[in-house]
A = this chain, B = another copy of it.
Amino acid sequence: MTTAHRRSEQARQAIMRAALEICREQGYARLTMEGVAAKAGVGKQTIYRWWPSKGTVVLDAFLEELGPAIEVPPTTDELADLRLSLRRAAELLSHPRYGSMLADLVGALQHDEALAAEFHKRVYQPVRQQTVERIERARLSGAIGNVDTGLAADLLFGPLWFRTLLTRQPPTPDYADQIVDIALAGLCAATS
């Protein structure tokens, strides 16, 4: 038997739309559950029924719009894929609409375990997985040295996030390229 009167798709979409809109217009910090409910024309309970915190609402809304855009389709050239992947990340972090939203989301992660778990599963891990696999393949093909793949991934993505989160100056595509250049040089030299 199925559960009667299932979740309203209409309400869900209204909430996603409202969350994004408020986030864009007033910023994540000013976004409140009440505000989302009001703008979406929805009862607060309907939000709390399906999302535990404003962070998860925004995360969902974010992924609904940009989930697919995060991934980079694999080619045979792993290093080029990595380079493109970094560029994509830089573009996202410097996106006028989603950049500071992402930064705020990561900020909220610091004191919201549930959100942290969700972010890890749905944003961090997917990209991480792809990155690590590419590095692994590059390593096997001898394109880079014998290094810890996780560490290599940190070396690539770390600087982008560091710049975004600590200085609030989002990275440019050129910055991403330079990071790739130097990091890969280091990784080639490495033999661990």
Residues of B within 8 A of A28 (CB): 110-111
Surface stretch bound by B, among A65-73, A131-139, A162-170: A162-170
A14 and B128 alpha carbons, distance in the complex (Å): 44
Question: Cβ of B106 and Cβ of A167 under 8 Å apart?
Answer: no
Residues of B within 8 A of A186 (CB): 182-187, 189
A52 to chain B, nearest CB (A): 15
CB nearest to A190 among chain B residues: B182
CB nearest to A29 among chain B residues: B111
Residues of B within 8 A of A168 (CB): 109-110, 116
Surface stretch bound by B, among A56-64, A74-82, A146-154: A146-154
Question: Cβ of B147 and Cβ of A182 under 8 Å apart?
Answer: yes
A103 and B112 alpha carbons, distance in the complex (Å): 12
* Copies held by the complex: 4
A4 to chain B, nearest CB (A): 10
Contact flags A108-133 to B (C-beta < 8 A → 1, else 0):
11111000100110001000000000
Say yes or no for A21: interface residue by CB 8 A criterion: no
Question: Cβ of A110 and Cβ of B120 under 8 Å apart?
Answer: no
A49 to chain B, nearest CB (A): 15
Say yes or no for A98: interface residue by CB 8 A criterion: no
A42 to chain B, nearest CB (A): 15
Residues of B within 8 A of A189 (CB): 182, 185-186, 188-189
Question: Cβ of B183 and Cβ of A155 under 8 Å apart?
Answer: yes
Q: Which of B152, B166, B184 contacts A109 (CB 8 A)?
A: B166
A89 and B106 alpha carbons, distance in the complex (Å): 20
A180 to chain B, nearest CB (A): 10
